[in-house]
Amino acid sequence: MANLRFEVVAEAFKKKPLEVIAPVERPSEYFGKNTFNRAKMYKYLPRDVYEKLIDVIDNGARLDRSIADAVAKGMKQWADENGVTHYTHWFQPLTEGTAEKHDAFIEHDGKGGMIEDFSGKLLVQQEPDASSFPSGGIRNTFEARGYSAWDPTSPVFIMDDTLCIPTVFISYTGEALDYKAPLLRALHAVNVAATDVCHYFYPNVKKVQSNLGWEQEYFLVDEDLYSARPDLMLTGRTLMGHDSAKNQQMDDHYFGTIPERVQAFMKDLEIQALELGIPCKTRHNEVAPNQFEVAPIFEETNLAVDHNMLLMSLMKKVARKHGFRALLHEKPFDGINGSGKHNNWSLSTDTGILLHGPGKTPEDNLRFVVFIVETLMAVYKHNGLLKASIMSAGNAHRLGANEAPPAIISSFLGKQVSDLLEHIEKSDKKDLFTLEGKQGMKMNIPEIPELKIDNTDRNRTSPFAFTGNRFEFRAVGSEANCAAAMIVLNTAVAEALTNFKNRVDALIVKGEEKNSAILDVIRDDIKTCKPIHFDGNGYSDEWVVEAEKRGLDCEKSCPKIFERYLDPDSIKMFESMDVLKKYELEARNEVKWETYTKKIQIEARVMGDLSMNHIIPVATHYQSQLAKNVQSMYDIFPKEKAANLTSRNVKIIEEIAERTQIIETGVEELIAARKVANKIESVHEKAIAYHDTVEPKMAEIRYQIDKLELVVADELWTLPKYRELLFIR
């Protein structure tokens, strides 16, 4: 009987690139085509309404609901001209994805007919069913009311025939049920705190903005092969599969030539992303086979988060159009690199980047050091919480492998910045200092111009590395909402800057000169946060030992890492910065623990199903074929010769029997472990039980299955193998 797997693989290899017809215009001319950006606002809104709305966006003025009808009218006119028939409030619940409910632009006309209408009331506020989204107990199932409210700082956009309005999502009693609401609060907190500190150096600064540039890694898999792998379909990752003889060991995929089908997909994705105002700039092959990356230009953090969520949704849609499935799971394939989402973070004012150095004056350099050190203080004090912000069931498979940052938060600074901080720490002088800019490097090749060398190298093993004018938070997972990490980071930096200013002001009140007071406080903070500074190899065993000595959080259990959200210091930080209340944090942790449990539970069920309905039947069928062969050999040849001729087959028969028995027993134990864990009432303890007792049994079963894959005849194995999943062109 023909193996369906072979037919699927053969069809996948035959697929040709889908032709993508690019717009005639240059990208700059169609950028933002499908967003209600400032140019559209200026065109479709009355002048006074436009100015009020821009004041809200740029200066944080409160939205005057009296202008909502005029804004809605302008949006509706633009939407009509683009064939839009529906609108939706687009928000980010605690499901890690996005949500939307589409309504048509129709109302009763009072005469038995319909009219098309879109009012300011519908623009500003809607009422999604809050009971059907994760709330961690904030809302009872029978209490359904929740509200979505327009976020005017993120542009409205068109997807297909729908006007999408970015919104926050809160409960009837006011608690945040999403990521955007606390993110906006965190960004406000860091704006206030950083602006206050900026006034030591630049009295005219009016606003500090948090910026984010994410780098999105992902895998592409042929859709037919994806459909033949139930584990990929239901969990996002392969729960079994032996290494391909060739994977990433030759380092030939990284920055390699992009395959034609993938190039067509990337081109299509970029065009649609640019039309939505997502400033995609970079694309390339990543390290693992069939792994790729897309990255945009830096944007304001709230907008960047929205754009990343939108791009992930768009990526899945465009991939299917090209016969692919986009995999965003952090570790879809065992034994090769997983996917991350590096969050490049910085702070800037209307005059420049606060983390950019060296400056043109000693005061600029002091400013640079202040913001570097206080960021380090935030990361040091809340290193466990930062780890909790990026941890998930998927990312737990990626972190700590020799491919991604370790599951210990530390910060790389580079030699020049490290030497500077050490000099300040040990110096008693009150005078300011200078920093060297980029140095030249001559290649001794006449045709090559002099290279400008940055004042820091890059450390790929550092989870939080300084890279010249920003910090790169490399530990964020591919599938994650960037907001989770950005909420913690910006809140922690706001707290550190607030604390810094309070101490400096106290010294100034006592009569100390301003710069001298700043240096005194900075010197203390450099000493305090020294344990978080590590420029070495984060993959080494020695670093784990050293990190424990330094008091850094070295916990590896995902459910226990989530506990850091409820540490007294974490609660104090969130409440003092007015970002989240204690009961909101407790509710969010309930969601995190429950989500973790459900993901492992689904994986365990899929593992049991595939083991009993795919793997064992295939293995025993091959075993039966071998047994018949052995028996026939004994019928033909003398006993001793038959025994010699069938020895290999007999060994395989025995190995299959042993391994299938272990698998069957393992599945029974896996089910029993789930049943025990499911009886635990506490969602916290249940998540820990799934981590400690259920997940390890899955690893044991996988080991046996992967060994069977090597001995069972290839024509019988029903699941597409790694060599087929990873090398489709």
Which helix (DSSP H) or strand (DSSP E) does residue 54 occupy?
helix 47-59
Average pLDDT over residues 699-713: 97
Res. 438: pLDDT tops 70: no
pLDDT higher at 582 or 352: 582
Average pLDDT over residues 180-194: 97
Query: What are 104's strand-pairing partners?
Result: 86
Report whether 139 contacts 130 (CB < 8 A).
Answer: yes
Task: Identify the pLDDT of residue 411.
Answer: 95
- CA atoms of 508 and 143, how far apart (whole Å): 53
Q: 392 to each of 43, 499, 588, 616, how far by Cα in Å?
A: 44, 31, 13, 31
Q: 614 to each of 529, 649, 657, 660, how far by Cα in Å?
A: 53, 22, 15, 12
Task: Identify the pLDDT of residue 440.
Answer: 53
Res. 443: pLDDT tops 50: no
Average pLDDT over residues 355-376: 85
Res. 13: pLDDT tops 80: no
pLDDT higher at 73 or 436: 73
pLDDT higher at 437 or 729: 729
- CA atoms of 344 and 406, how far apart (whole Å): 18
Task: Identify the pLDDT of residue 111.
Answer: 84
pLDDT higher at 560 or 134: 560
E-only strand ranges, 276-340: 280-285, 291-296, 299-300, 324-327
Task: Identify the pLDDT of residue 140.
Answer: 65
pLDDT band (50, 70, 90) for residue 487: very high
Task: Identify the pLDDT of residue 530.
Answer: 96
Q: 231: which 2 tokens?
A: 């584990």
Res. 453: pLDDT tops 50: no
pLDDT band (50, 70, 90) for residue 145: confident
Q: 591 to each of 129, 559, 574, 639, 695, how far by Cα in Å?
A: 17, 11, 18, 65, 19
Average pLDDT over residues 594-612: 97
Which of 65-69, 339-343, 426-430 has the weakest average pLDDT? 426-430
pLDDT averaged over every residue in the chain: 91
Average pLDDT over residues 467-490: 95
Task: Identify the pLDDT of residue 447.
Answer: 54
Task: Identify the pLDDT of residue 108.
Answer: 84
- CA atoms of 17 and 312, how far apart (whole Å): 21
Res. 329: pLDDT tops 80: yes
Task: Identify the pLDDT of residue 458.
Answer: 57
Task: Identify the pLDDT of residue 689.
Answer: 98
Residues 28-39 have pLDDT tens digits of 899 999 999 999
- Tell whether the torsion through CA atoms of 464, 469, 470 and 474 is positive or negative: negative
Query: What are 412's strand-pairing partners?
Result: 465
Residues 621-654 have pLDDT tens digits of 999 999 999 999 999 999 999 889 889 999 999 9
| Residues ≥6 apart with Cβ < 8 Å to 460 | 474
Average pLDDT over residues 675-686: 97
pLDDT band (50, 70, 90) for residue 1: very low
At residue 382, what are phi and psi to the nearest 5 degrees?
-120, 35
Which helix (DSSP H) or strand (DSSP E) does residue 90 occupy?
strand 86-90
- CA atoms of 314 and 318, how far apart (whole Å): 6
pLDDT band (50, 70, 90) for residue 441: very low
pLDDT above 90 as % of the chain = 73
Sequence letter at residue 594: E
Res. 228: pLDDT tops 70: yes
SS3 label, residue 15: coil
- CA atoms of 106 and 307, how far apart (whole Å): 29
pLDDT higher at 174 or 625: 625
Q: Is 592 exposed, middle or buried (0-12, 13-18, 19+ CB in 10 A)?
A: buried
Res. 416: pLDDT tops 80: yes
Res. 451: pLDDT tops 50: no
Q: 194: which 2 tokens?
A: 């950083």
Average pLDDT over residues 248-277: 91
Res. 571: pLDDT tops 60: yes
- Give the CA count within 13 Å in the CB-facing half-sphere of 20: 20
Which helix (DSSP H) or strand (DSSP E) does residue 343 occupy?
strand 341-349
